[in-house]
C-alpha cells in the first residue's frame, strides 16, 4: 500500500500548499461571520468580516450588525461584472446591508432555485426570466411590490416603454427589470457594399426582406451558396412569435384557453410558410446547424458568410469585435402589422425573505437609475433618462433597439401559465418538422400542433 500512502501524502501536501498560498484569513470568532465574494476577471477572493450572530448557512440574523441579503442570478462569466459593480456602489451608500451574490449559469439556475424554494431556503432577491413570472408568482414565490413602491415614491414612468409589463401579474407588479432585448435585424455592411445593395430602412416589408436576401445570396462554383442572404432562428419558438405577430395572428386565444383556431389560423400558417420558404424554397437562409441549440446554432453571420440575421441584442458585443463583420442594425420588417416581441428578465423579492425592507432598497437601487447607469456599459439600460443621457437613444445601432420598444406585442406565455408545458413543445416540434421536411404541408403541421397543444391544455385546465 506504499504507493497509496505516498499518493495520500501528496494530496495532503497539495492541500496544505495551496491553502498556504491563499491570503491568510483571520480565525473566525463566533461573533464574526465571513462573507466572501469573488470578482469576475480576477482570481481574487474578497472577504468581508462582519459582526453578527452566526447562523450556519443562511443570512445571519442580527438587530445591530449589517444585514446580509442573498441575491440569486442566472448570469455568470462576464455577465457578473455589472452585478458586482452595482453591489459595490450600493453597499457604499448603504453600510447596513451586504449583498451576497449567488450566481449559477444558465439552465442549472432554475434547478438550484427550485430546490432552494422547496426547502424554503431561497435567496432574498431572485432573478427570473419573463416566461417564468406567471408560474412563480401564481405559486406564491414573490412578494407584490406595489406597497414598497408607493412608500419609496417609486416612479414607474422612468422606464422605457413596455419594460414593466413582463414583471406584472394580474395587475400587480412583482418584478422590476434587469435587462431586456427586443428583436432587430443585424446586417453586415461589408456584404451589402460588395453587392451594392442599399441598407434596410424603417418601413420595409417581408417582401422587401425576401428580395434583399435574394440579391445578397451568392452561389459558389459548386452551386451551393457561398454567401447567404439571411440567417434565421430555426426552431426557436419565442423568437417565432415576432413572425406570428407581424402576420397579424396570435398563437392562443385572449382568454388563454384555446390554441385551436389560433395556432392553426391562416395568419400563422402564412407566417410559418414564409419562414420555411426562406430555408427550403428560396434557399436564402442556411439550414440549421443544430436544431438542439438555441436558435439553430448557425455561425454563418458570425463568420461573415450571411448578410443579415434576425435576433435579439445578446451577441452584439461579440459582433462588434468580430473582424468578419461591419455591423449595422435595422428595424424589423413588417408584414400586416409592424410588430416586435420583448425578451426580459427581472428581479423580485422572495416571500420567504427575512429582510423585505432592505431587499427592496437594493431592488430599487438596482432596477432604478443608479443600476441603469452601470448597466448602460453592458446592455441596454432600462431607464429612459440614462438611455438618453448616454446617447444610446440616438446611437445608430443601440437607438434601433430602443426604438423597437414602441412596437411590442404581448408574448404568448402571458395568456396562460401552461404555455411552456403545452404549446411550446408542440410549436417546437412543428417548426422542426417543416424545417426538416422540404415539402411539408404547413397547414396540416400547424393543425396537428394546435391539436396537440390543445389536448395537453385541456387536460391541465380540467384538473
Partner 1 sequence: MSQPIFETPILQPRGLHKALHYLLVSLAALLFMAPVYWMISSALKPNYEIFANPPVWWPAHPRWANFTEALTYLPFGRFAVNTLIIALGSIIGHLLSCSIVAYGFARLRAPGKGFFFVLLLSTLMLPYPVTMVPLFIIFSKLGWINSFLPLIVPTFFGNAFYIFLLRQSFKQIPLEFEDAARMDGATTLQVLWHVILPLSRPALITVMIFTFQAAWNDFLAPLIFLHDQSKYTLMLGLSFFRGGYDINWAYLMASSLVVTLPVIIIFFFSQREFIEGVGYTGTKA
Partner 2 sequence: MRATTPYRRREAIAFYLTIAPWLAGFILFMAGPMLLSLYASFTSWDLINAPIFNGLGNYRDMVEDARFWQSLKVTCIYTAAYVPLDLAGGLMLALLVRPRLRGISAYRTIFYLPAVFSGVAFVVVWVWLLDPRGGLLNLALAQLGVQGPNWLMDPKWALPSLVLMSFWGWGRSMVIFLGGLQTIPGELYEAAAMDGAGGWQSFWRITLPLLSPTIFFNLVLSIISTFQTFTNAFVATDGGPLDATLFLVLYIYRQGFQFLNMGYASALAWVLLAVILVLTLLVVRSQRFWVFYLGDRPE
Q: Does 30 bind partner 1 (CB under 8 A)?
A: no
Please report which helix (H) or strand (E) contains residue 273, including its range: helix 266-280
**Bridge-based pairing state of the strands 306-312 and 225-231:** parallel
Residue 318 makes CB contacts below 8 A (sequence gap 6+) with 302
Which C-beta is closer to partner 2: that of 117 or that of 374?
Answer: 117
- Please give the sequence-ordered ranges of beta strands (E in DSSP) within 203-261, or none if there are none: 218-219, 225-231
Of residues 68, 125, 141, 402, which one binds partner 2 by CB under 8 A? 141
Of residues 433, 446, 449, 457, which one binds partner 2 by CB under 8 A? 433
Q: Are 405 and 337 in contact (CB under 8 A)?
A: no
Q: Does 111 bind partner 2 (CB under 8 A)?
A: yes
Least separation in angstroms between residue 23's CB and partner 1 is: 11
SS3 100: strand
Residue 248 makes CB contacts below 8 A (sequence gap 6+) with 267, 335, 336, 337
Distance CA 227, CA 307 (A): 7
Q: How many CB atoms lie within 10 A of CB 157?
A: 6
- Which partner in partner 2, partner 1, none is near 333 (CB below 5 to 8 A by kind)? none
Of residues 91, 146, 326, 421, which one binds partner 2 by CB under 8 A? 421
Q: Does 91 bind partner 1 (CB under 8 A)?
A: no
Q: Which stretch binds partner 2 (CB under 8 A): 16-24, 165-173, 238-246, 289-297?
A: 289-297
Q: Which stretch binds partner 1 (CB under 8 A): 59-67, 163-171, 310-318, 402-410?
A: 310-318
Q: Are 182 and 408 in contact (CB under 8 A)?
A: yes
Q: Which stretch binds partner 2 (CB under 8 A): 74-82, 205-213, 426-434, 441-449?
A: 426-434
Q: Does 23 bind partner 1 (CB under 8 A)?
A: no
Q: Does 250 bind partner 1 (CB under 8 A)?
A: no
> Sign of dihedral through CA atoms 372, 373, 377, 383?
positive
Distance CA 307, CA 292 (A): 24
- Which partner in partner 2, partner 1, none is near 15 (CB below 5 to 8 A by kind)? partner 1
Which C-beta is closer to partner 1: that of 31 or that of 317?
Answer: 317
Cell of 118: 422547496
Q: Which stretch binds partner 2 (CB under 8 A): 67-75, 92-100, 110-118, 202-210?
A: 110-118
Q: Does 115 bind partner 2 (CB under 8 A)?
A: yes
Q: Are 446 and 269 in contact (CB under 8 A)?
A: yes
Which C-beta is closer to partner 2: that of 139 or that of 172?
Answer: 139
Q: Which residues in this chain contact partner 2 in the complex, by CB under 8 A?
A: 110-111, 114-115, 117-118, 135-136, 139-141, 287-293, 299, 420-421, 425, 428-429, 432-433, 436, 459
Amino acid at each position: 500500500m506504499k504507493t497509496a500512502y505516498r499518493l495520500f501524502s501528496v494530496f495532503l501536501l497539495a492541500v496544505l500548499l495551496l491553502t498556504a498560498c491563499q491570503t491568510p484569513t483571520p480565525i473566525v470568532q463566533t461573533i464574526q461571520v465571513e462573507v466572501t465574494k469573488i470578482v469576475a476577471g480576477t482570481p481574487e477572493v474578497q472577504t468581508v468580516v462582519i459582526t453578527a450572530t452566526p447562523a450556519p448557512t443562511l443570512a445571519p440574523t442580527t438587530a445591530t450588525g449589517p444585514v446580509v441579503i442573498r441575491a440569486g442570478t442566472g448570469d455568470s462569466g462576464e455577465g457578473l461584472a455589472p452585478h458586482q459593480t452595482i453591489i459595490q456602489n450600493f453597499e457604499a451608500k448603504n453600510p447596513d446591508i451586504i449583498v451576497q451574490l449567488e450566481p449559477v449559469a444558465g439552465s442549472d439556475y432554475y434547478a438550484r432555485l427550485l430546490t432552494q424554494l422547496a426547502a424554503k431556503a431561497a435567496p432574498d432577491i431572485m432573478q427570473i426570466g419573463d416566461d417564468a413570472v406567471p408560474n412563480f408568482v401564481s405559486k406564491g414565490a414573490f412578494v407584490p411590490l406595489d406597497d414598497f413602491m408607493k412608500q419609496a415614491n417609486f416612479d414607474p414612468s422612468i422606464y422605457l416603454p413596455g419594460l414593466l409589463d413582463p414583471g406584472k401579474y394580474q395587475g400587480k407588479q412583482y418584478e422590476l427589470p434587469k435587462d431586456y432585448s427586443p428583436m432587430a435585424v443585424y446586417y453586415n455592411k461589408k456584404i451589402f457594399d460588395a453587392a451594392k445593395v442599399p441598407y434596410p430602412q424603417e418601413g420595409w416589408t417581408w417582401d422587401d426582406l425576401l428580395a434583399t436576401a435574394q440579391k445578397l445570396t451568392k452561389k459558389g462554383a459548386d452551386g451551393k451558396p457561398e454567401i447567404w442572404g439571411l440567417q434565421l432562428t430555426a426552431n426557436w419558438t419565442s423568437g417565432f412569435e415576432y413572425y406570428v405577430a407581424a402576420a397579424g395572428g396570435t398563437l392562443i386565444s385572449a382568454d388563454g384557453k384555446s390554441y385551436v383556431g389560433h395556432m392553426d389560423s391562416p395568419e400563422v400558417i402564412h407566417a410559418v410558410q414564409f419562414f420555411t420558404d426562406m430555408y427550403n424554397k428560396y434557399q436564402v437562409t442556411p439550414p440549421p446547424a443544430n436544431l438542439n441549440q438555441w436558435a439553430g446554432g448557425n455561425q454563418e453571420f458570425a463568420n461573415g458568410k450571411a448578410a443579415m440575421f434576425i435576433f435579439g441584442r445578446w451577441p452584439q458585443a461579440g459582433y462588434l469585435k468580430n473582424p468578419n463583420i461591419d455591423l449595422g442594425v435595422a428595424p424589423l420588417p413588417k408584414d400586416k402589422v409592424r410588430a416586435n416581441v420583448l425578451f426580459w428578465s427581472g428581479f423580485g423579492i422572495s416571500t420567504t425573505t427575512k429582510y423585505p425592507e432592505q431587499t427592496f432598497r437594493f431592488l430599487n437601487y438596482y432596477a432604478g437609475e443608479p443600476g441603469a447607469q452601470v448597466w448602460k456599459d453592458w446592455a441596454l439600460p432600462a431607464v429612459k433618462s440614462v438611455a438618453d443621457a448616454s446617447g444610446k437613444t440616438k446611437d445608430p445601432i443601440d437607438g434601433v433597439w430602443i426604438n423597437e420598444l414602441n412596437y411590442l406585442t404581448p408574448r404568448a406565455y402571458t395568456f396562460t401559465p401552461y404555455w411552456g408545458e403545452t404549446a411550446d413543445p408542440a410549436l417546437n416540434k412543428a417548426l422542426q418538422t417543416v424545417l426538416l421536411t422540404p415539402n411539408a404541408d404547413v397547414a396540416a403541421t400547424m393543425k396537428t400542433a394546435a391539436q396537440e397543444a390543445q389536448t395537453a391544455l385541456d387536460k391541465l385546465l380540467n384538473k
